[in-house]
Chain A
């Protein structure tokens, strides 16, 4: 396994959101998380990456059999844990290419590799930009400033492609995407599948799952995983909603 979450309790402010969540991310597998609004999906993703919004009060997260619960967010990122945000922030004045190269070089340095200069970096980016249907001027603009919803999500995937993380968490990467953008983003995700990387895809819709074909579907409800099954579960959810799942779990 790549990541194991054990009896995780976490809160945001005074509100407990995760209430004893257990989940195992298998190496090389794509795990999808579905669930009603407020179930704790985004809180789970933030807890894994060590986001400052979330306070873990109980339980543990093991990455490659080592607890990461006391690690800073940047340490987890350097170790290969990546989160694409549901709402990527705009940072005026910070050049997108500079931001991405700094992130990549921090990781390369951590791995004992030589840093890329600006030209080497842009050459490496060229193919990714084309594959994602991104205009080349997007990387010379300020980070996400004035980007459409689809452009922001493509930029998140661009970041994922260049950083080559080992655990990839995508928080509603499909929200606000038109059909072309959804296809481009999905192809970007599929490109990263190598039988070793693990994915945690948080979504409300089956559309993206048709493209990326998850191995497992987990349903999150009231801060816990209440059901895990294969892709057939999506059809059931679309037909019957989350209520029946709750009943199955006896909550």
Chain B
């Protein structure tokens, strides 16, 4: 599934929920499949600056594919990370860099986030783009 298709599928999923509370509860639900990092992987390098709650994101380039793994500390961060890693993880750098981030708005989720959480999303995206650029350069 492409990144656009994954976003479209999440949009369909979120459309199933009639209220904002239901949608947020679904984000929490997604967080149940949330991955974790080992303590050594949670460092200054992987720390996502500007997140409302502590979060770490690891990016590893393997055979031209960016593998993303992360960990959040709040329910919302865990859910959003799970969702975003599903969209951005296991992609080529070009796929990520050519993806229009405003597409994320189509899921109907971003507007549910508080301004602080929206900043967290931006911080997450910045981190992903940094990893994608490094991967593209073969670093």
A binding-site residues for B, Cβ under 8 Å: 97, 117-119, 122-123, 126, 136-137, 140
Contact = CB atoms under 8 A, between A and B. Distances in A.
B22 A140 contact: yes
Contacts of A122: 16-17
Contacts of A126: 16
14 contacts: A97-B22, A118-B17, A118-B22, A118-B25, A118-B26, A119-B14, A119-B16, A119-B17, A119-B26, A122-B16, A123-B13, A126-B16, A136-B18, A140-B18
Contacts of B18: 136-137, 140
A117 B29 contact: yes
A83 B43 CA distance: 54
B30 interface: yes
A97 B25 CA distance: 12
A119 B29 CA distance: 9
Contacts of A140: 18-19, 22
A117 B25 CA distance: 10
A140 B20 CA distance: 12
A181 to B, nearest CB: 23
Given A119-B26, A140-B19, 7 more contacts: A97-B22, A118-B22, A118-B26, A118-B29, A119-B13, A122-B16, A123-B16
A141 to B, nearest CB: 10
Interface string B55-66: 000000000000
A222 B69 CA distance: 67
A140 B17 CA distance: 9
A97 B26 CA distance: 12
A117 B82 CA distance: 13
B16 to A, nearest CB: 4
Contacts of A137: 18
Contacts of A118: 17, 22, 25-26, 29
Interface in B23-44: 25-26, 29-30, 32
B28 to A, nearest CB: 9
B22 A117 contact: no
Contacts of B19: 140
Contacts of A123: 13, 16
A117 B30 contact: yes
Contacts of B29: 117-118
B107 to A, nearest CB: 12
A58 B14 CA distance: 53
A126 B13 CA distance: 12
A140 B19 CA distance: 9
B12 to A, nearest CB: 8
Contacts of A97: 22
A122 B26 CA distance: 11
